[in-house]
Structure 1
């Protein structure tokens, strides 16, 4: 098989794995996982591992230890210094001109049956402002400490700035925007499909930019305030 050749795996090993029989322990774990998912759906995912252990043992008439129920946390590698950046913004959020400072982040949005979609701020901003060379401030999430993000920085020549560890206020503008978006749109609607979520986000952001008046902008919308600064 071509895939086996590419992966460097003997075909005999592949067929052995394909035809293998699950062990008793694996079968028990599969049934246990189904029961955990079933209970989690019933209680809308509010149980922690301790309460889930009680619920599983009650349902199955078992006596599992919480260590058997608790899902192991993935092992994340701490970003090295070469993949992070100093906090160059230092909470100085005021800018003297457009495209001088950008703040970015990723937020999770759920729809339908607990399905997830992720929204990234300023994803399209560089394409719309190809001559901009801003300072882009982010947290230290894996999206921003990755090699791919470094390549974007080299390609578009923007300056890196990152929040200190566990200091969400270092990126307060974008955190505030996420809060506003969720309070004024996301939490007010029961969203069933991905397309519905995407349309709703686009509609709200258009409203936020072009219709939503802001007191600190003297009653102007963000677009009006920005255009006034350019003039």
Structure 2
């Protein structure tokens, strides 16, 4: 009879192989961990998923980021306060956010991932996965991050996506005393660490 740990490893390896195929090989171990945990209500570590991906010889292939942006006129915009200073001396000093789109093979359905990154250690403090790129994709995740870190007042940096340039989000940012920052138009490098993460 197989030990429970071995059974678990085999199950997770099967999920890794399935997700690797489903998402056309674009999931690195960080995003693979997110998808396995969120879609299966688990809390595995990135190190564990990394070891299993290595065991089954699965790696992400690099691909150009593809995001479905809604053409909605911004209700307001902010300057690039972060100004490509991606260093942080303490936790919750600077947060980054973005949305990435995934295509599911053999299906027209799109899946969207929205994470918040803490620049102190480039850790993902909260994220949301959804079949819709809408306001709730960002708002629900942001609310959970605030509940987790109620005293946090970081510089909060994003691109100029419709969720971040809405007056509703502006109020969400201002309520806890955060400083909002936005990338310049067509300057992905202004959100560099998040762009790198979303390519893995």
- Name the TM-score, length of structure 2 as normaliser: 0.49
**Which has a greater percent of helix?**
1
Which structure has greater strand proportion?
2
Name which structure has the greater RCO, CA cutoff 8 Å, separation 6+: 2
Q: Which has the larger radius of gyration?
A: 1
TM-score, scaled to structure 1? 0.42
